[in-house]
Chain A
Amino acid sequence: MSTKASGFQLIPDTTDKISLVLQGDWTQDQQSPDFSGLHSALQSNASLRHLLVTGSDLDEWDSTLMAFLLQCHNYCQANNIDFKTQNLPDGAEKLLEVATAVAPHQRPEDAKKSWLVSVSPANIIKYFTSSLAFIGEVAIALAKLVAGKSNTRMVDFKTFCYEAGPSAFAIISLVSVLVGMILAYLGAVQLAQFGAEVYVADLVVVGILREMGVLMTAIVIAGRTGAAYAAQLGTMQTNDEIDAIITMGISPIEFLVIPRILALVLVMPLLTIYANLLGIIGGGIVAGSMDISPLQYIHQAGGALSWTHISVGLIKSIVFALLIAVAGCRAGINSGRSSAAVGQAATQAVVTSIVYLIIADAAINIISQQIGV
């Protein structure tokens, strides 16, 4: 195989006509001239009206040549220059014909999006109004469900209950036992200064029941289930599944969102009770290692137990469940149609639910202090 240097020569025929003579090998592993060199040469010749491309001196060629020829063709077309070819290899001639069969598409200016726009105040307001609209739609769908006129399927509800509940047992067990132990350690060290170690039980019980049990459960569920909801719905969006649901005359809120919300609202309080129990046991393990007998711990813990503490925790769990499910489903339903968009939806679901959780937790604590429970 000969490897001649590739190149081209411009030979003026008449004042408005130039021959472009292509020479040598035009292949990938060859240093071929790119179009910019020719571009400036052509531009300097304002009277040019005809360009004749001659290929009789060409040897090997591949897409490198074709890309070059296409640029020539497009340049000529844009500048009203008559573009002709002669003696090109047969394949190249035909490929050029295929490549120029359809006129290039001009992208409309307004279709190009800028990232700056996405954080403007207008968009933030839009985000809040659309959130409200979403919550409104959910409320309407719930009302329909109560009235018995809903397309929500029981089967879905059961699946989601299982996915959110029993399959989260392992991680919830681990987290709550450890949180109970951490609380007990923290308390024991402080209380020992007053010789009041036995009150560790009170601290653990109140801390777990009112705050830590439910909050840790909610954070685990936000990362596990909330993100899963967003990813599921986002993937359905990319596959046109949500369009299919809408065109079947089914509301995606009733069909997709409601079963998920209901499942989480049912499962979260149960998980919270379970987490509370394990958290208190975790505290007991630490207390045991600090010379508080199990009997003493149980007795003390029993004294601290009250329906108020338990109910505050359970009310929080229901509120948190709603927030997580709504944040997850909303992110999924509004997801874009690409793999990156689904990833963003999952991230958004987790971040917004954790922000919602903390705000709601603070609000409930303030309210319960005001009303004295």
Chain B
Amino acid sequence: MTNNTAAHIEIRNLTMAYGSFVIQRDLNFDINRGDIFVIMGGSGCGKSTLLKHMLGLITPKKGDILYNGDSFVNASSEQQDAVRQHWGITYQSGGLFSAMTLAENINLPLQLYTNYSKSEIADIIAYKLALVGLAGYQDYYPSEISGGMRKRAALARAIALDPEILFFDEPSAGLDPISSRLLDELIVQMKESLGATVVMVTHELPSIFDIATNSIYLDANTRTMIGYGDPQYLRDHSDQVVVKQFLARGIEPKKTTGEY
């Protein structure tokens, strides 16, 4: 049994770079089991890059990433694959297989990693699509549905195996407010029913304040994290003006004299 109090994911002194171009340096933070952890920051500050490091798609320049206390960076590729089996991931531009229908996309992990029968798999696919509001779209190709629908379909594939950790890169970008709220609801439900940990990149302030339990803010100028904590707390008490501005939709915060 895994220890429930220890951090699920630990980032230690992580420095990320493309060649000699350093994106972010000296990142240190913990993500606890059951957190909905949001990575925030201006466009181009390295949020997707951080996610790709956590997924093991890019090797860090320096530092380590630990899952359940074990180093992921130094693990063999077989070990990494074993860990990844319990993850669900959506990419910023979807990552759906364009040559497969939505049903085939979701079928792939189910067929590879479970021993469900064909008819059970069909039921599961119907259920996962219904969860993201795409019931009945089994036989569509990704090119036949809208951009926001593709985002949701990618999410349905990500949750196919009831994962332990969910990584989302801007899951609600391009969704209308209602779908976006349903998506937030879904993320919270996934977390509660599966006990999953959610790591997501998002700019949607309503979802950040509604569902995030912890967050970091990456700064593009200083190239490091300048905020770490509950977003509501950061908005009201951060000592960094940019962070407050970001969380207040760019509005310059009032000088904190007495009550805010």
Contact = CB atoms under 8 A, between A and B. Distances in A.
Contacts of B98: 238, 337-341
Interface residues of B, number: 35
Chain A interface residue count: which class? 35 or more
Interface majority SS (helix, strand, loop, mixed), chain A: helix
A100 B162 contact: no
B133 interface: yes
A213 B185 CA distance: 67
A102 B136 CA distance: 10
Contact of B131 (A62, A90, A95, A336): A95
A67 B124 contact: yes
Interface stretch (A8-16, A105-113, A285-293, A305-313): A105-113
Contacts of A99: 127, 130-131, 135
Interface in B83-124: 97-99, 114-117, 119-120, 123-124
Interface string A85-124: 0000111101100111111111100011000000000000
B192 interface: yes
Contact of A95 (B134, B135, B193): B193
Contacts of A70: 123, 126-127, 130
Contacts of A98: 131, 182, 185-186, 189
Contacts of A92: 193
27 contacts: A28-B115, A32-B120, A34-B120, A63-B128, A66-B127, A70-B126, A70-B127, A71-B123, A71-B126, A90-B192, A92-B193, A94-B193, A95-B131, A95-B193, A98-B182, A98-B186, A98-B189, A99-B131, A99-B135, A101-B182, A102-B130, A105-B135, A107-B136, A112-B139, A338-B99, A340-B99, A341-B98
State the 4 A-B residue pairs at the shortest beta-carbon distance, nearest first.
Answer: A91-B193, A105-B136, A340-B99, A338-B98
Interface of A: 28-29, 32, 34-36, 62-64, 66-68, 70-71, 74, 89-92, 94-95, 98-107, 111-112, 238, 336-341
